[in-house]
Chains A and B, each alone.
Chain A
Amino acid sequence: MPTSTQSKPVKLKTHEEKQGFAYHMRRYWQLYALMVIPVVYYIVIRYLPMIGNVIAFRRYRAGSSILGDEFVGLRYVKQFINDTNFRKAFRNTLLLNFKYLIVSFPLTLIFALLLNEIKNAPWKKFVQTVSYLPHFISMVILAGMVREIVSTSGPINQLIVSMGGTATSFISLPEWFTTIFVVSGVWQGIGWGSIMYLAAMSGISPELYEAADIDGANKFQQCLHVTIPGILPTVSTLLVLNIGQLCGSGAFEKVFLLYSPTTYETADIIATYVYRMGIQSGNYSYSTAIGLFQGLINLILLMTANQVSKRLTGSALY
């Protein structure tokens, strides 16, 4: 008996204990304690709704538990696939996001390149400050401004009338919604969007410009052969990540504040349709099914975009 106790590798045991769970917790419990409230927050506010998505397959009525009452299978999925309003909203989501991207992406890049050519520091600072400003105002104020500017008595119509035209109520015409959405988006986002590019440009070594200068490259050639290659990784990463958000709900607030029944045709997106179906009309399960569908597409797009970005440039946003 005593020999067997002696033969136990005592040292190994303490080593094992050191690596063990109990030791780890004894040493670091305070750091875990710090995380408890935020983790509970994530469980309740972020993960519980994720689980709550099961009401896409279980009927939910006001007053039910968050997991719904009875299982109904794919009833709501079948329903929305045949819903012409849903199809329209799906198409509009992709179209609005795509049109905004195709206009704003190159404009932001050009704006950053032009900003970079300003040599007068206070002037550059002024243009930057002014162009970042719209990014910080509330979407409510943006929408209010847009409505005032395109209103029948606003400056655009004043101009049209002064040139002999007739005032048009742009905000209530479906054919104008995309233009209003894209232009106001560029106005709000172009300055702030250029920051990433300016940061990338400031990272380019001045020696490269000196070398190009000695080789006889003019400013335009320097931009083409030094600046643009220098920021290309940033450009491609941002492009890919933006493409990843094409099916997202980023436009929700703005569309919600600018659209009206007369412009649903071109303005209604999935998120606004989900809002109307769910919170306004009380079809919780049906709208959850639609929201889940969009969420899953978005998840796939985002993850793909992130992977592509990693492959391309070795960097990703998250």
Chain B
Amino acid sequence: MASAKIKQSNAYRVFTVCNTVLMALISAVMLYPFIYLIAQSFSSAAAINAGEVGLLPVDFNVDTYKNILAGGEFVRYYGNTIVYSVLGTALALLLSSMLAYPLSKVELKGNKIIGPLIIFTMYFGGGMIPSYVVMITLGLRDTVAGFLFPGLISTYYVILMRSFFATIPKELEEAGEMDGLNKIGVFFRIALPLSMPIMATMALFYLVQYWNDWFDAFLYLDTKTKIPVALHLRNLISTAANAEDAGDSIQVAANIKSCAMVLTAAPIICVYPFIQKYFVQGMMLGGVKG
């Protein structure tokens, strides 16, 4: 009996070692593309094109960063991204919660019609072309609204918020009404402050969504000075790719591309490990409920 137990634990020890090695390998694979990009961004274009950069920078220099950050253009797009992300997130949070809160009230008869109609949009949408036609017809071409509107209210997030609002004790809201607040007052003064955990999580999701979005800008923003940095990055990469396809020697230097990518991903990568639990929380909220 005792020897069997020792045998088992020995086998398990071997497994644990293998598992640790495997997990370390997976972590390395997960991190490698980031490391490679960072190495490129500190290397010279010549070294990159010669295929010398693998893990560490070759011809280490910070000139690319200096040039990009002094060039004005990149800084401008970066600023656009910050403004759009903050503005979009604020609007998105406000509108999503204004929809989610009433939807969480079972006594509201209209929810029987509005609820299913909102959820239906998760199954079926207008499609790319009709949506584009509507946006253009509304005159949203080349406006900030054109960039912000398509992702302004995410039905999935509304559903997550609704389930959170539904857990707020009725007594607290009734107490607010006793103290003279109307229902809108109860929403802003009682329900919202009590929902800070979900609001923080949703804010992060919306922030990442707007920070990373390039396609809506690609469709609706024509003026170059208005574009967010993600679209600028896409244009850099596609110019380089087209030049490569055409066998053209004039390319966007690889170090400029990687430098721009590192700077664009930096805020998310640097902040993310510290706020990871809010993201995971959000994911769990939406988890399949058994």
Binding site for B on A (CB under 8 A): 24, 28, 30-35, 37-39, 41-42, 44-53, 55, 60, 65-66, 111, 114-115, 117-119, 123, 126-134, 136-141, 143-145, 147-149, 151-155, 157-158, 161, 167, 169, 171-172, 187, 191-192, 195-196, 199, 216, 218-220, 233-234, 237-238, 249, 253, 256-257, 260-262, 271, 274-275, 278-279, 284, 287-288, 291-292, 294-296, 298-299, 302-303, 313-318
Q: For the complex, give the distance between the alpha carbons of A28 and B105 in Å.
A: 10
Q: Which residues of A contact B137 (CB under 8 A)?
A: 65-66
Complex contact A278–B159 (CB within 8 A): no
Contact A30 B182 (CB under 8 A): yes
Q: By the criterion CB–CB under 8 Å, are A317 and B138 in contact?
A: no
Does B121 count as interface, using CB distance less than 8 angstroms?
Answer: yes
The residue from B12, B114, B214 contacting A138, defined by CB atoms under 8 A apart: B214
Q: Is the CB of B27 within 8 A of A141?
A: no
Using Cβ atoms and an 8 Å threshold, which residues of chain A touch B29? 187
Q: Does B198 contact A (CB under 8 A)?
A: no
> B172 an interface residue at 8 Å Cβ cutoff?
no
Task: Contact check, B27 vs A196: say whether CB atoms are below 8 A apart.
Answer: no
> Are A50 and B133 closer than 8 Å at their CB atoms?
no
The listed residue (A132, A148, A169) touching B258 by CB distance below 8 A is: A148
Contact of B202 with A by CB under 8 A:
no
Which listed residue (B130, B244, B276) contacts A132, Cβ 8 A?
B276
Establish whether residues A278 and B258, one from each chain, have CB atoms under 8 Å apart when the complex forms: no
- Please classify the interface of chain A as helix (H, G, I), strand (E, B), loop, or mixed, using the class held by over half of its residues: helix
Which residue of A39, A52, A111 is within 8 Å of B114 (Cβ)?
A: A39
* Contacts beyond the supplied A136-B272, A234-B290: 7 A-B pairs with Cβ under 8 Å: A41-B153, A138-B230, A138-B264, A139-B212, A141-B265, A148-B37, A161-B51
Number of interface residues of B (CB under 8 A): 102
Task: State the CA gap A79–B73 with chains docked (Å).
Answer: 45
Q: How far is the CA of A272 from the CA of B239 in the complex (A)?
A: 19
Is B86 located at the chain interface by the 8 A CB criterion? no
Q: How far is the CB of A57 from chain B (nearest CB, A)?
A: 12
Given known pairs A118-B23, A132-B276, A144-B233, the reply for A187 and B30 (CB within 8 Å) is: yes
A315–B12 touching, CB < 8 Å: no
CB nearest neighbor in A for B39 = A155
Contact A50:B19 (CB < 8 A) given known A133-B30, A144-B261, A157-B51: no
B165 CB → nearest A CB, Å: 11
Contact of A38 among B11, B96, B257 (CB under 8 A): B96
- What is the bound-complex CA distance between A302 and B265, given in angstroms? 33
Q: How near does chain A come to B275, taking the closest CB pair, in angstroms?
A: 10
Q: Does B273 contact A (CB under 8 A)?
A: yes
User: With a CB–CB cut-off of 8 A, which chain A residues contact B168?
Assistant: none
In contact, B124 and A298 (Cβ under 8 angstroms): yes
Binary interface encoding of chain B residues 182-194 relative to chain A, with 1 for a CB under 8 A from any of its CBs, else 0: 1110010000000
In the bound complex, residues from chain A placing their C-beta under 8 Å from that of B67 are: none
Any A CB within 8 A of the CB of B98 = yes
Complex partner residue of A136 from B245, B254, B268, B287, CB under 8 angstroms: B268
A38 CA / B254 CA spacing, docked (Å): 44
Q: Beyond A41-B95, A155-B36, A291-B129, is A279–B219 a contact (Cβ under 8 Å)? A: yes
A residues less than 8 Å from B280 (CB atoms): 132, 195
* Residue in A42, A152, A216, A302 with the greatest tally of chain B CB atoms within 10 Å: A42
- A80 CA / B137 CA spacing, docked (Å): 26
B60 within 8 A of A: no
Is there contact, CB below 8 Å, between A195 and B284? yes
Contacts A138-B265, A313-B290 known; A262 to B126 CB distance under 8 Å?
Answer: no
| A37 to B129 alpha-carbon distance, docked (Å) | 24
List 9 tightest A-B contacts by C-beta distance, closest first.
A49-B126, A52-B130, A138-B212, A38-B99, A291-B127, A153-B51, A30-B183, A49-B130, A49-B131
